[in-house]
Amino acid sequence: MFNKILLPSLRSLRELFSSYVGKWNQFVLSYLPQFQKPKNVPSDINWNNFVDQHVYCWNGVWTRYYPDGRLIERFISERKFSFAKLHDYYVPIMMSPLPQPVIFYEQEDYSTVNQKNTYTRTNSISEQSWQLIRQENSLRDGVYHPQADSQRGLFLENGLATWSCTDISLVLATETETTGLYAIEIFLRHENLRVSVGLVFDTAGEVQRLAIVRESVLGSHRLYWTQDSTLPSSVDLPQGQYSAEEYSVSSGLEYSRSYSIFYPSSWAEQDSHRVVAFPDGVLVRFPLQMQSAVERVIEVIWMIKSAEPLIYRAKLVYNASGQVDCFSGGLFKKDYKSILA
């Protein structure tokens, strides 16, 4: 008889306690400061595109080459981006006769990004770490990277991005007097995959090294990318017309969209430029001479393995003075129709 009366009482007490805890937690949380995404000024749009598209843990493989195609090295990498923690609160259950549970509330600070790169070679593991803070690193001409004063990051809504020198002539006159080199990297992201192509130039404007980084957020680059490091001697580019809505950003962070048509089969045909084909359908076209006083364009295309033909294209344009003019690109499809057309 006693058990029949006591058990419902304990159950009611537990339900009452749970209800009290829930209401107390809601009350406390209502007074905690909530993080708000920055306003839509140009530098904040660029920053938001960065954190929305690239703040993940990217596992992949780096492959570096000499200009003649000889392999320099190949190694495993992890580029881990994470947000700093904005708040860490302990919320006690006040005036409770029962043992108090430990309740923590964490908020991610989207204005502070921690980056840690880990490179795993056959006989060594090395690491590099940086911190990017919106108030300090998100500038009027792009995101400033602590690794290189001359570089800025430009980020598009569709996942395309570049870390590149904003002014080649200025770089040659200052930072690279000791190294004699400057680098440009272009990123293309599709769903859980990302590929980037890097070019290292000398003071004469000639390519000294090339690299491709093939990554995935799925935990292993082997799920999609081939393990072959040999550069293809030739690539069959698809025939026909492809089109897309291309996103674009200027060096002054002015964003726009336009309808573009692309004929892949004629893409490689351009004077004073060189085309290098990498594994997994990635190609880069760049000027033979970056220091010439004319407009210079670096383009990367990625022929994505899918049921329907898809080609990602990214384009970085330098004006005749050696300054970044704009960065643009899109995901091109065959017979694609756009409302912008």
Q: Strand, helix or coil at 221? A: helix
Phi–psi pair at 18, nearest 5 degrees: -60, -40
Closest by alpha carbon to 241, among 259, 217, 224, 220?
A: 259
- Predicted confidence at residue 15, as pLDDT, reads 62
Residue-level pLDDT, tens digit, the chain, 341 residues: 444 544 455 556 556 655 655 565 555 545 444 445 555 688 999 999 999 999 999 999 999 999 999 999 999 999 999 998 765 555 554 545 555 555 555 667 889 999 999 999 999 999 999 999 999 999 999 999 888 888 999 999 999 999 998 888 776 655 444 456 789 999 999 999 999 999 999 888 889 999 999 999 977 667 789 888 999 988 888 889 999 999 999 999 999 999 999 999 888 877 889 999 999 999 999 998 887 778 999 999 999 988 788 999 999 999 998 899 999 999 999 876 654 55
- Predicted confidence at residue 159, as pLDDT, reads 96
- Predicted confidence at residue 233, as pLDDT, reads 87
Burial 92-125 (b: 16+ CB within 10 A, else e): ebeeeeeeeeeeeeebeebbbbebebebeeeeee
- What DSSP state is assigned to residue 264? G
Asked if 64 and 210 touch (Cβ cutoff 8 Å), the reply is yes
- Predicted confidence at residue 172, as pLDDT, reads 64
- Predicted confidence at residue 47, as pLDDT, reads 96
The H or E element containing residue 173 is: helix 168-173
- Predicted confidence at residue 156, as pLDDT, reads 97
Query: Residue 225 corresponds to which tokens in the numbers above?
Result: 């990318």
Query: How many residues are listed for the chain in this entry?
Result: 341
- Predicted confidence at residue 309, as pLDDT, reads 84
CA torsion sign, 320 to 324 to 325 to 329? positive
